[in-house]
Structure 1
């Protein structure tokens, strides 16, 4: 009978959906174990919940709020349902949202293409796939993903980046780029004739991050003005389209096939062509073996690299910009922390791995930035079969086949139970870099204090080491040159593909 059931599950379309329908209709929990989640209602009138627990065209621009809707009034609960919630609508696969770091770590670790492991859930990124391609590190699963990961491992790996000769070349070009952009800001301040000037830094950071990737890492030669006036605006619009396309394009029709009947479609096609052009510019140095391309050992033809290069470009504009702007935004609101970073970096002229490792307070600032305001605010996974998950403390949970899993890093990192005074020495929702010193002094093992800022497990971000290098250099150089304060006290987030400060990182800055 068991073999027959398994055969039906694997070979009869819709069998699993049909067999679980009775339980769904009677609201029977589909999960088992000693860490079972509590149920969230699809509609809950009178609860004052901020929105529905699913994206639609009226709420998709605030995904953090959608995640919050799962945990509305959850703090009043005791037991595993406090941090693990599920939505189960008849006819659809269950959705499990967890802000439990133990479960996040266990599920992320068990991601792969072997029996009983989880795939990355591609549902939240269909818009990205339509804009870049499905054969990418971000979107692909299984054997295709492993092949893509192997191709990217060498040039992006820590071993390659931090080889003395390789690192010095990258550090020199990165530093020259950052210095020239700092000089632009310095000149802007001088020309104003004032002691200080107020500007939004996000546009400046975006250009720096894109320039470091295109010119320093890939070896292209694109002018600052072209990046700022042409390529950054086009990529910003492409990314905005990706977010809306994921929710609104229910039929999955590639918008490139739409007739050019409106200004919006015409503009979208122009932006796509600009994206293609920029991708070609960073691919061209491959033939000359410039910059990173010297470390690229694959024989894959250029056409097979285009999709991933698009993802890297979008990532430079999204994830690294998010990381750097949040760090600056926090330091703008914490002058004591800013001065401590300055004292640590003021005499640093040459950044080496050893120097970066020795800048312990800057490192703590960056870790605290990723904890409190991670770029990757949730990690999507999907159960490929009925799967038992065991957390490090022994808690177990059976997750049924097809379940969509949202590993809610944003709220896990902000909850008192996990990162509050008792756990880390400081309130969970405050920016406190000394938290990391307290955790080290208390003997907490690194594996117990994960902020998941670059993801976790086999699908950890391949650009982690490059991103840390770029952001550490940018933030260090900015603090070394300017004093700066936030233009407003509050620091809310806006979220799309990644999170960023809602005020555009608007600061008032003066020369040191």
Structure 2
């Protein structure tokens, strides 16, 4: 183990893609250091990770992580909220299918097609409001007023969350994703999430509606074995958090990339490349998920000649894999909308745990980008690219703000 490269992951994500390149250069399996000196492993080639994801010697169940089981991970550890959950994210096999099945209808292609008119309406309303969001200098934060606002409203309507809860919910998601949150705020955030979800369950139990939260509550009432109280709460959280974060980061990254690659933007605006292709290339080149936890070794294993003991955490560095030259070719580091041949990326995961909301995220992003650049074809960055500040997170790959001029 001592000969295996060790890389400390930067919690501020100041140079995320540079760090991703260093991970790839260090080898197919790399030891990484997380906040507080916590150790884990990262697999840096797409082929190896795809194989690992379906390896029966690996589990998603965090109870098998020795550092946590032995009490070496404090409750105030900043990454704990992304790991210590009891829902489809942390289950395998039949248990995973049991927890995944109840949400698939709402997120299926048919379900998303039914939602599409409402998504278009929300996009139009947000675009109408953008000029009024500009400051005295004419600058609009597109991240806050479009990238965040769209998926937040969509998922809250799907889940039946009251509109006046959105700002509170958004702040909790931001806190969970942060790699620099102080321990006392981590503990407070976990308590606040439990409180918000308990309120939502109480509200929708008393006043059910045509929403996914009401459906899950009804499922539990009909068959308590289908969903425990803890599973219900953590499933709601997974849907509310993931339903926002992936899409908003995808949108922000897409706009940034298009505005800093005008030749590629011209391909999309002229119709030479479809907006679907834009979404896929953004997912590959600068995907919204940085490093996703966690998988845990059930026994001692060897990956690419690197021994990994039982009970270790293995991260999936999805956004690093999008530029893997072994899989995507020697020009993997170039943003190219008409890339041929297109190669499959892992931005939404792989295997049984592939993101159930992938179709929704793709649809929101495609509709939003086409409408945004159709309405504001002269859109441009209001600051230099070097002034854009990344979100301090090991999990999400995006920006804290995207100042633009509508043109």
Question: Which of the five TM-score ranges fits, normalised by the shorter chain?
Answer: 0.7 to 0.9
CA deviations 1:34-86 (Å, max 9, x no partner) are xxxx5125xxxxxxxxxx626xxxx53339769939947x74xxxxx633323
Aligned to 1:509: 406
Aligned to 1:409: 318
Matched, 1:155 2:81: no
Q: CA deviation at 1:157?
A: 2.5
**Aligned-partner SS, 1:474:** helix
199-208 or 235-244, larger mean C-alpha shift: 235-244
Q: Give the whole-Å Cα distance in 1 for the aligned partners of 2:311 and 2:325.
A: 31
Aligned to 1:120: 60
Matched, 1:485 2:380: yes
Q: Give the whole-Å Cα distance in 1 for the aligned partners of 2:60 and 2:29.
A: 19
* Match for residue 336 of structure 1 among 263, 266, 286: 263
Q: Give the whole-Å Cα distance in 2 for the aligned partners of 1:275 and 1:496.
A: 24
CA deviations 1:298-346 (Å, max 9, x no partner) are 72239553322222222233211101111111112223333332343xx
Aligned to 1:33: none
In 2 relative to 1, CA 415–69 (structure 1 residues): closer, same or farther, beyond 3 Å?
closer
Q: Give the whole-Å Cα distance in 2 for the aligned partners of 1:210 and 1:507.
A: 21
Aligned to 1:461: 355
Q: Could you say which structure has the larger radius of gyration? A: 1
Name the structure, 1 or 2, with higher relative contact order (CA <8 Å, separation 6+): 2
With normalisation by structure 1, the TM-score equals 0.62
In 2 relative to 1, CA 271–141 (structure 1 residues): closer, same or farther, beyond 3 Å?
closer
Q: Give the whole-Å Cα distance in 1 for the aligned partners of 2:40 and 2:394.
A: 20
Q: Give the whole-Å Cα distance in 2 for the aligned partners of 1:236 and 1:401.
A: 36
Aligned to 1:47: none
**Aligned-partner SS, 1:97:** strand
Q: CA deviation at 1:269?
A: 6.5
In 2 relative to 1, CA 67–243 (structure 1 residues): closer, same or farther, beyond 3 Å?
farther
Aligned to 2:249: 322
1:368-387 to structure 2, matched below 5 A, reads 368-379=281-292, 380-387=294-301
Aligned to 1:434: 338
Aligned to 2:172: 238
**Aligned-partner SS, 1:177:** helix
In 2 relative to 1, CA 64–410 (structure 1 residues): closer, same or farther, beyond 3 Å?
farther
Q: CA deviation at 1:129?
A: 5.8
Q: Give the whole-Å Cα distance in 2 for the aligned partners of 1:498 and 1:209.
A: 18
How many residues end up aligned between the 2 structures? 378
* Match for residue 99 of structure 1 among 41, 44, 47: 44
**Are the counterparts in 1 of residues 179 and 394 from structure 2 also a CA contact under 8 Å?**
no
Q: Give the whole-Å Cα distance in 2 for the aligned partners of 1:385 and 1:509.
A: 55
Q: CA deviation at 1:106?
A: 0.8
Q: Give the whole-Å Cα distance in 2 for the aligned partners of 1:53 and 1:66.
A: 14
RMSD (Å) for aligned C-alpha atoms:
4.1
Structure 2: which 5+ runs fail to align? 66-77, 222-226
**Are the counterparts in 1 of residues 296 and 313 from structure 2 also a CA contact under 8 Å?**
yes
With normalisation by structure 2, the TM-score equals 0.76
**Aligned-partner SS, 1:145:** helix
1:240-255 to structure 2, matched below 5 A, reads 240-243=174-177, 249=183, 255=187
